[in-house]
Chains A and B, each alone.
Chain A
């Protein structure tokens, strides 16, 4: 297990390094460096930029300073907002986005797994058809469409729930719903198909032959095996939810990192784009690393490495 974790950890560092380098190269390949004078009208900002990015040094030195700034978790100043650094924006926006993302993933996991399991247990029954109809529709409707529909119908027409911001649990319902529907649908489909496969396995037949109750068979014998594929897609799912927060925060006017990120894209605020991209990528890759470890814990076959690793 230790060996497995170390291997995964090194992979994670490599991936972050690649993303950081890619970001650096791409940003510096923009015709007329993004840090040129014309881009900024403010001399204070220009001075800040030059100081931070060592723009007077040769490129490879700049690159080294850049890597150092990433290791020390300092993403530099913003171009458009004179007295703010990317770090400050992240500190302000990220907790909100994180909350939105976590609530979403919890809702999606819980409802997706329950829905998928019920559908598999009632294979070709009414619940199955309803769940799968929901799943295909949920996958097909883009979250920004769903979000707008929810605001228009539930918030404006029916006036049941507040339409914007992130100020109370009540405010959280619509954005979470809009963001979680797609992932829920994907998880439900995946759980259903892998559950259907697991239920035909001999060890389930054996569990039934032991005279165990159906609930025990599903929870103890089937679910854990059926959830393996769900765990493996958690990485991609998290990435999807994270990018989803960009549009959801834009539509619901939630002051999260996604909103700042979209703003920075529209303003071409390059340091913010660079900083957030690297930060988000590092965050995602770290989550992927966690997912891999969870997978290792769930599947005893991966522990094979333990003896070599610990000895």
Chain B
């Protein structure tokens, strides 16, 4: 069993090596990796995921442009300029103009505002309703839980986009309506996840254990509960955003979305349809490109977060 890498073979070891070795305190334990806090560890692993980081960086830039982009532009969202209809991208109009001579560059960032706003609001409202409903259901348990879950089961069976369309028809198209319609159906998924997490926590032995050691409630929540429950919830929120953005674009595309003079990416794409065959590619390209990229960014970020936050994968 001689290891070939050894310079010294067992046959020619020096005699003076035969003396007791000084025991180093704690050396046997030293090989264990240093323990990181949950969030630091998750952040470290997220940073390793280049695609997810690229998504994050893109979203930060997009958010910045959505807020500041229109300020840099000399044009307004609805400023028509009939002599300059359907102009291709140029030095004066970076993304070209539409059939009313409106600047596509400016409208694209307004579209980003709408998309991000719809996405983030939908995710936040879903989160709050989901936390309350799922929390109560999971915490109360028993009959309450059974009834609340049966309701969820039925709601889950509803075709969401159809209900959203119906609500849009009834309430009339507007930004508020879109968000309300999306959250009326969207919170169900979040509530399910929250309930699952709450049920899991209830069974965790370490919660009882830390209580019996006299740990403070706030400490239990911060050190034990949050890391073990927030992961799936954050991931769900990250994935709600792109689906809300898609739903907004879809509704706008059907003519049920934001109305003029506001611009949203879905509206812009819908407006571009009739002229796309006459070679005005920029009309569709920019909104389509940014919708796709935003969805992509949220999706890869969500995937990255899922990998980074899953305590089961922690090593």
Q: Which A residues lie at the B interface, using CB under 8 A?
A: 11-12, 14-15, 18-19, 22-23, 26-27, 29-30, 136-137, 139-142, 144-145, 148-149, 151-152, 156, 235, 239-240, 242-243, 246-247, 250-251, 262, 265-266, 268, 270, 273, 277, 280-281, 284-285, 288
Query: A265 is contacted by which of B246, B256, B292 (Cβ under 8 Å)?
Result: B256
Beyond known contacts A140-B299, A152-B276, A280-B159: 4 more, CB 8 A cutoff: A144-B249, A235-B157, A243-B165, A281-B162
Q: Is the CB of B154 within 8 A of A140?
A: no
Query: B154 is contacted by which of A14, A235, A262, A284 (Cβ under 8 Å)?
Result: A14
Query: B284 is contacted by which of A18, A23, A148 (Cβ under 8 Å)?
Result: A148
Q: Is the CB of A142 within 8 A of B158?
A: no
Q: Does B255 contact A (CB under 8 A)?
A: yes
Docked Cα-Cα span, A12 to B156, in Å, equals 11
Contacts of A265 in B (CB 8 A): 165, 169, 254-256
B282-315 contacts to A (CB < 8 Å): 284, 288, 291-293, 295-296, 299-300
Contacts of B242 in A (CB 8 A): 140
Q: Is the CB of B159 within 8 A of A136?
A: no
B158-173 contacts to A (CB < 8 Å): 158-163, 165-167, 169-170
Contacts of A156 in B (CB 8 A): 277
Query: B161 is contacted by which of A140, A151, A243, A268 (Cβ under 8 Å)?
Result: A243
B contact patch SS: helix
Q: Is the CB of B253 within 8 A of A140?
A: no
Contacts of B163 in A (CB 8 A): 19, 22
Q: Which B residues lie at the A interface, using CB under 8 A?
A: 153-154, 157-163, 165-167, 169-170, 242, 246, 249-250, 253-256, 269, 272-273, 276-277, 281, 284, 288, 291-293, 295-296, 299-300
Docked Cα-Cα span, A152 to B167, in Å, equals 33
Query: B158 is contacted by which of A19, A27, A141, A242 (Cβ under 8 Å)?
Result: A19
Q: Is the CB of B255 within 8 A of A288?
A: no
The smallest C-beta distance from B125 to any residue of chain A, in angstroms, reads: 20
Residues A140 and B293 in contact in the complex (CB < 8 Å), given A148-B284, A277-B166: yes
Docked Cα-Cα span, A164 to B187, in Å, equals 38
